[in-house]
Structure 1
Amino acid sequence: MHDLCVRSGTTVNVVLEPRVKSPWPQPRSSNPMLALVTSSATDSRGVTRVTVRAARTGTVTVTWGSQSAPLFTLRLSVAAYPVQ
């Protein structure tokens, strides 16, 4: 699991190296209200690029693969900052 703390409104770009046996499964957000997967594409070399937008404060996970045995997990802690 990889942890990342970002501000609300931040866009996170994830680049995943090619997998030997099969392509990366589609990513899934545990709560699309907090973080939404806005795009996912795999190029001809097998590199997968995913964009996730942190929308609201809280903690959310984005997983690739099944919940019980994910291939990759990104945990986002979305922090609130006062508006100036």
Structure 2
Amino acid sequence: MRSGTTVTVVLEPRAQGSWPQPRSSNPMLALVTSSATDGKGVTRVTVRAARIGSASVAWGPESAPLFTLRLSVAAYPVQ
């Protein structure tokens, strides 16, 4: 993806309860800009790619996340 791009992750309800809060491995690169859960238990999280590099956003314990989004942010091509 390119720097400045936003991604919205939609997580279906969990039988074990709500999704944990997301955490970025590098908030300077992958910034969680919003997180909301609706009345049906669906969670929507928006992540913005702020800089070039690689980062991940994970839900759950660091040692065993329930879900992980891996991002690779590339520079715009020079023409």
Same fold? TM cut 0.5:
yes
SS in 2 for 1:25: coil
Q: What is the total number of aligned residue pairs between the two structures?
A: 79
| Runs of 4 or more consecutive aligned structure 1 residues displaced over 2 Å after TM superposition | none
> 2-side partners of 1:34 and 1:66: how far apart?
21
> 1-side partners of 2:16 and 2:8: how far apart?
24
Map 1:1-80 onto structure 2 (within 5 A).
6-80=1-75
> 1-side partners of 2:5 and 2:67: how far apart?
21
Shift of 1:83: 6.0
TM-score with structure 2 length normalisation? 0.96
- Show structure 2 runs of 5+ residues with no match: none
**C-alpha RMSD of matched pairs (Å):** 1.0
Residue 3 (structure 1) aligns with: none
- Show structure 1 runs of 5+ residues with no match: 1-5
TM-score with structure 1 length normalisation? 0.90
Percentage identity across paired residues of the two chains: 81
Structure that is richer in strand per residue: 1
